[in-house]
Amino acid sequence: MLRLDQIKLNPDQSEEALWERSAKLLRLPRREIRSLRVLRRAVDARESPVLVYTVAVEVAEEQRVLRRCADRRVSVLDEPGYALPEPVDAPEIRPVVVGAGPAGLFAALVLSRCGARPILLERGQPTEQRIRDVNAFWESGLLNTESNVQFGEGGAGAFSDGKLNTGTRDVRHRWILEQMVSCGAPESILTDAKPHVGTDKLHITLQNLRARLLEMGCDIRFGSRLTGLHTENGAVTAIDVTTEAGQYTLPARQVILALGHSSRDTFEMLYDAGVPMEPKPFAVGVRIEHRQADMDAAQYKTYAGHPALGAASYKLACHLPNGRSAFSFCVCPGGQVVAAASETAQVVTNGMSEYARDGENINGALLINVTSEDFGSDHPLAGIAFQRRLERRAYELGGGGYLAPCQRVEDFLAGRPSTGPGKVLPSYRPGVTYTDLRDCLPPFVAESIARALPLLGQRLRGYDQPDALLTAVESRSSSPVRIPRDESGQSGIAGLYPCGEGAGYAGGILSAAADGIRAAEHILYVIGREKS
């Protein structure tokens, strides 16, 4: 197979044109191309938007064709695949995975596929019940602190845009995407340069993944929270699990901690139990919301709204004179701002979209970096205390009932409270309170956002438009804690395998899933070695 890069089509051309283009590049008649497969599809909107493809092409006498065309865009296709670890016999004491987010689910999948029959504990509820709990919260402000946007099957990303791009390269990524497709995720995630699943399709995928895990003998326990750790000679021997019915102790020798960034009570429990932890820099800020049509027009110009391009997204960053960085994060085209709290009387914002990304607005986080100097302590849990203070202030400023404080950009920049929306209507439920966000944001965050808005507006026309809405507070973009681990994947307590976003080793769905697999690989190695 040959790999052909940088084949460009305009949005009006169908993918059929790829055959013609490939033949031309290879200097062959079209009939000599036996098969063609799209490997990657990207939108380049720097000038007039074009679709940029990478394709795999099958031809006869590959080497001769390659030599003759002598073009940098043509090479021999090299597709390294992920090979699962060797199968093992299920150990008497089953490995335990704590957390059914991407890290925990994919750790459990690899352990199950390799015969280790793990137990998967999740404090939240299965997808079906979780959807009901989250909708009740968004509709009436009744927060279930165990089943919400952060906790439950699928983890923090289950109500999200389901973006699956990552800044890192890992042979496991393709395998993860393939597993998701086989569970019902759209096939486009295998080829799109910026793949996304959307909340609707993610929920289907999660339910099918659960069925697959159960078939392979994985014991999945929802409503089951890790609340205690038993150790002997520096190694884990058992864990306490709390359910609605009470607490029990589960013997355990290998425990994957795939907790996510919001399980604050669990971090506190682990800290008290002597698990080494350190503070980690993170970022806080606001959600900014625009009309999708305006962002499409700014980027796609005359092609705005073209079905081949979909809803436009953006990625922005700038360094500020005060030494801070401001950057966009987790942009959700055609999506909504969501209430993402997991603790009582705190307001937390985030964003999600459906697969179609066809909502009226686009939203994204606008974040400012935070270090331990900003919260005046290097205690490992000081970042959590900082987040909590911020989320409580946002709740109070919103006036209670999980209403979020909200302000028009023009008012924010002018330093006056907003009294209502302009042409951008807020999508956050249960609702917003128009106010002055400076009353809840730390001064350095407010000042940095005010400086960043016009700068980012120079990079993306309309980003700082007067009617864009800022909704506070975006405080859970990454973990404020890291749980150190050694080359064998274990923390200071043997048998504990911290992984994923919460332990500080991933940022996003795909990298968390890959890190969960890494933890599973370590455990399979140990189990395999013990048997031999």
Cα–Cα distance, 377 to 386 (Å, whole number): 10
CB 26, min distance to ligand FAD, A: 37
Q: Which is nearer to ligand FAD, 55 or 255 (CB)?
A: 255
Q: Which of 236, 506, 523, 527 binds ligand FAD (CB under 6 A)?
A: 506
Burial 261-295 (b: 16+ CB within 10 A, else e): bbbbebbebbbeeebebebbebbbbbbbbbbbebb
Q: Where are the alpha helices (DSSP H) in 301-441?
A: 382-398, 409-414
Closest distance between ligand FAD and the C-beta of residue 250, in Å? 12
Q: For 402-424, give one letter per residue: b (16+ CB within 10 A) or e.
A: bbbbbbbbbbbbeeebbeebeeb
Q: Which of 85, 91, 152, 498 binds ligand FAD (CB under 6 A)?
A: 152
Q: Which one among 118, 126, 162, 380 touches ligand FAD, defined by CB under 6 A?
A: 162
The minimum distance between CB 315 and ligand FAD, in angstroms, equals 13
C-alpha to C-alpha distance for 408 and 385, rounded to whole angstroms:
28
As measured in angstroms, the least distance from the Cβ of 437 to ligand FAD is: 20
Q: Which of 163, 324, 518, 522 binds ligand FAD (CB under 6 A)?
A: 163
* The only residue of 160, 328, 363, 471 in contact with ligand FAD, by rule CB under 6 A: 160
Q: Which residue from 502, 517, 518, 527 is in contact with ligand FAD, where contact means CB under 6 A?
A: 502
Give the residue from 28, 21, 37, 20 showing the smallest Cα distance to 69. Answer: 28
- Least distance from C-beta 503 to ligand FAD, angstroms? 8
What is the per-residue binding string for ligand FAD in 85-124, x denoting contact by CB under 6 A? -------------xxxxxxx----------------xxxx
Q: What residues have CB less than 8 Å from 265, skipping those under 6 apart?
A: none
Find the helix or strand (DSSP H, E) in which 7 lies. strand 2-9
| Per CB under 6 A, 258 contacts ligand FAD | yes
260 binds ligand FAD (CB under 6 A): yes
Measured from the CB of residue 296, what is the shortest distance to ligand FAD in angstroms?
A: 19
The nearer residue to ligand FAD, 98 or 440, going by C-beta atoms, is: 98
| Listed residue (202, 195, 199) closest to 138, CA to CA | 199
**Binding residue for ligand FAD, selected from 398, 508, 519, 523, defined by CB under 6 A:** 508
Q: Is 456 in the site for ligand FAD (CB under 6 A)?
A: no
Q: Which of residues 188-247 bind ligand FAD (CB under 6 A)?
A: 225-226
Residues 314-343 interacting with ligand FAD (rule: CB under 6 A): 330, 338, 340
**Shortest approach of ligand FAD to residue 361 CB, angstroms?**
15
Closest contact distance (angstroms) between CB of 116 and ligand FAD is: 19
Q: 439, exposed or middle or buried, with CB in 10 Å at 0-12, 13-18, 19+?
A: middle
Closest among 153, 163, 156 to 364, alpha carbons compared: 163
Q: Where are the beta strands (DSSP E) in 161-303?
A: 219-221, 225-232, 235-243, 246-251, 255-257, 278-279, 282-291
> HEC states along 41-105?
EEEECCCCCEEEEEEEEEECCHHHHHHHHCCCCEEECCCCCCCCCCCCCCCCCCCEEECCCHHHH
Biggest alpha carbon distance in the chain?
Answer: 72
Nearer to ligand FAD, 160 or 448 (CB): 160
Of the pair 94, 225, the CB lying nearest ligand FAD is at 225
Angle at 154 between CA 353 and CA 195, to 5 degrees: 45
What CA–CA distances, in Å, run from 386 to 6, 349, 383? 46, 16, 5
95 by Cβ neighbours in 10 Å (0-12 / 13-18 / 19+) ranks as: buried
User: Using CB under 6 A as the criterion, what x/- string covers residues 510-529 for binding ligand FAD?
Assistant: x-x-----------------
When the beta carbons of 22 and 179 are compared against ligand FAD, the nearer one is 179
How many residues touch ligand FAD (CB under 6 A)?
A: 42
Locus of tokens 């946002």: 394
Residue 157 interacts with ligand FAD (CB under 6 A): yes or no = yes
Which of 326, 396, 335, 389 is closest to 360 using CA atoms?
335
SS3 331: strand
Closest CB to ligand FAD among residues 157, 398: 157
Q: How far is the CB of 519 from ligand FAD (least distance, A)?
A: 11
DSSP H/E element including 203: helix 198-215
Residues 6+ away with beta carbon under 8 Å from 10:
48, 49, 50, 51
- Work out whether 500 is an interface residue with ligand FAD (CB under 6 A): yes
Cβ distance to ligand FAD smaller for residue 59 or 108: 108
What's the min distance (Å) between Cβ of 329 and ligand FAD?
A: 9
Q: Which of 126, 155, 398, 480 contacts ligand FAD by CB under 6 A? A: 155
375 part of the interface to ligand FAD, by CB under 6 A: no
Q: Which is nearer to ligand FAD, 144 or 465 (CB)?
A: 144
| Residues at the contact surface with ligand FAD, assessed by CB under 6 A | 98-104, 121-124, 149, 151-152, 155-157, 159-163, 225-226, 258-260, 263, 266, 330, 338, 340, 350, 352, 500-502, 506, 508-510, 512
